[in-house]
């Protein structure tokens, strides 16, 4: 995707061939800053502190983190240590484990002397595959948007999304937003309702920023507005991303997604999930009971950060000093509330048969 006309991915190898560069997403939308990762510790910090975030980008960063680790020490012990240290950075997005398992399986059989080059090449393959997968999700999802556009000729198609499952959450294109970008490319008139997504405000800060960069009409709404919009016919479809989807189609995504799915169900609004296959956890079938839900610092709830009129970035407390707060990062939307899963191989019902129909090798 382009920033001020310059094409970027969200992660790329630095010119020295050793460091890895990322966009520091904690500084958006107020500053566009590129940060270099030089070590395994840098990569682990970038994931934990959410300089990078979004399931596919977490996976790609972990893959490059393994390469950085091998450049420091390519021994068997260092390989295992890098796997463990990266795996503990964030618990919910399964792409992290997927990428680490892929990297370890690729590197472990090699002699340490071959591991550095192989690790960078495999991390680059993970990143390239993510781009191709997301573009395919975009093509499949755009057909759904086109079908809605055909039913209301000359009118704008209104999409509601939650959190940021766009370009910034992946290496390129996005998952939930890829269909929006492809449909816009095809000339469909679109408007996106952007849930602000408290407490980290990925919608207000990141989705709004990237839609702005790409000239897609959009409106930021507080998290509680979606139900009202749906009751008044102002949402044609919801598309969200996912951090982990069970083999039965339960979808774990940013906290608040479940409530949007309930509202969509009550109002007959289609509720789709864009997901790359590495986000499917084939080992589990009950999302509510089996997916670990990240619990983050309560300060993300009690405090808010923003830009003052004179350009300073300030953090302010919004709750009374004596009030506690809890900060669950994700919730699970049961498969019965999901209209369809948009994968790189096509759109399927959110159930085991639907997923196995597209991924028969998992039978």
**Which residues contact ligand MRU (rule: CB under 6 A)?**
53-56, 163-165, 169, 175, 202, 240-243, 253-254, 329
CB of 75 to ligand MRU, least distance (A): 31
- In this structure, the strands spanning 34-37 and 20-23 are antiparallel
Q: In whole angstroms, give the CA distance from residue 233 to residue 325.
A: 34
Residue showing the smallest CB distance to ligand MRU in the complex: 241
**Which of 121, 167, 130 is closest to 8 using CA atoms?**
167
Nearer to ligand MRU, 207 or 213 (CB): 207
CB of 85 to ligand MRU, least distance (A): 18
Q: Which residues pair with 328 in a beta bridge?
A: 295
CB of 26 to ligand MRU, least distance (A): 11
**Rounded (10°) angle between helices 95-107 and 76-87:** 180
Residue 67, H or E segment: helix 55-72
Collapse the DSSP code of 346 into the 3-class scheme (helix H, G, I; strand E, B; otherwise coil) and give the result. Answer: strand
CB of 110 to ligand MRU, least distance (A): 31
Exposure of 208 in the CB half-sphere (CA atoms within 13 A): 17
24 φ, ψ (degrees, to nearest 5):
-75, 100
Nearer to ligand MRU, 70 or 163 (CB): 163
CB of 19 to ligand MRU, least distance (A): 23
Residue 146 CB coordination number (10 Å): 16
Catalytic residue among 130, 172, 195, 243: 243
| Residue in the structure block whose two tokens are 């300030």 | 314
Collapse the DSSP code of 254 into the 3-class scheme (helix H, G, I; strand E, B; otherwise coil) and give the result. Answer: strand
Query: Which two three-digit tokens encode residue 157?
Result: 């198609």
Residue 206 DSSP class: I
Nearer to ligand MRU, 164 or 246 (CB): 164
CB of 300 to ligand MRU, least distance (A): 10
Nearer to ligand MRU, 10 or 202 (CB): 202
- Is residue 12 a contact partner of residue 20, using CB atoms and an 8 Å limit? yes
Q: In whole angstroms, give the CA distance from residue 232 to residue 248.
A: 32
* Whether 243 is catalytic: yes
Nearer to ligand MRU, 179 or 329 (CB): 329
Q: In whole angstroms, give the CA distance from residue 73 to residue 59.
A: 21
Nearer to ligand MRU, 55 or 126 (CB): 55
Residue 111 CB coordination number (10 Å): 7
CB of 5 to ligand MRU, least distance (A): 25
Nearer to ligand MRU, 107 or 172 (CB): 172
Tell me the C-alpha to C-alpha distance, in Å, between residue 223 and each of 160, 238, 314: 11, 14, 23
Task: List the catalytic residues.
Answer: 243
């Amino acid at each position: 995707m382009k920033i001020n006309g310059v094409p970027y991915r969200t992660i790329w190898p630095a010119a020295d061939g050793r460091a890895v560069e990322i966009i520091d997403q904690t500084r958006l939308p107020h500053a566009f800053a590129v940060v270099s990762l030089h070590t395994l510790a840098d990569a682990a910090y970038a994931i934990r502190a959410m300089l990078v975030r979004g399931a596919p980008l977490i996976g790609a960063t972990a893959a490059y983190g393994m390469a950085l680790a091998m450049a420091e020490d390519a021994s068997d012990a260092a390989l295992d240590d890098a796997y463990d240290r990266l795996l503990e950075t964030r618990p919910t997005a399964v792409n992290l484990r997927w990428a680490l398992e892929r990297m370890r399986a690729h590197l472990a059989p090699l002699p340490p002397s071959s591991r550095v080059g192989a690790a960078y090449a495999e991390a680059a393959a993970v990143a390239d595959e993510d781009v191709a997968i997301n573009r395919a999700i975009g093509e499949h999802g755009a057909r759904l948007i086109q079908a809605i556009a055909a039913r209301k000729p000359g009118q704008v198609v209104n999409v509601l999304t939650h959190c940021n499952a766009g370009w910034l959450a992946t290496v390129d294109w996005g998952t939930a937003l890829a269909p929006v970008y492809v449909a816009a490319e095809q000339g469909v008139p679109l408007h996106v309702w952007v849930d602000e997504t408290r407490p980290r405000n990925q919608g207000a800060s990141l989705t709004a920023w990237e839609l702005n960069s790409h000239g897609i009409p959009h409106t930021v709404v507080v998290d509680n507005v979606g139900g009202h919009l749906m009751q008044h016919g102002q949402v044609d479809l919801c598309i969200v991303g996912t951090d982990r989807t069970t083999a039965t189609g339960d979808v774990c995504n940013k906290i608040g997604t479940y409530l949007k799915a309930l509202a969509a169900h009550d109002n007959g609004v289609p509720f789709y999930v864009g997901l790359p296959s590495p986000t499917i956890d084939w080992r589990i079938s009950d999302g509510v009971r089996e997916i670990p839900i990240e619990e983050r610092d309560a300060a993300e709830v009690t405090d808010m950060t923003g830009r003052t009129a004179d350009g300073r970035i300030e953090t302010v407390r919004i709750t009374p000093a004596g009030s506690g707060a809890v900060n669950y990062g994700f919730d699970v939307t049961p498969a019965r509330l999901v209209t369809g899963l948009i994968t790189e191989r096509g759109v399927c019902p959110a159930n085991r048969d639907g997923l196995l129909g597209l991924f028969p090798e998992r039978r």
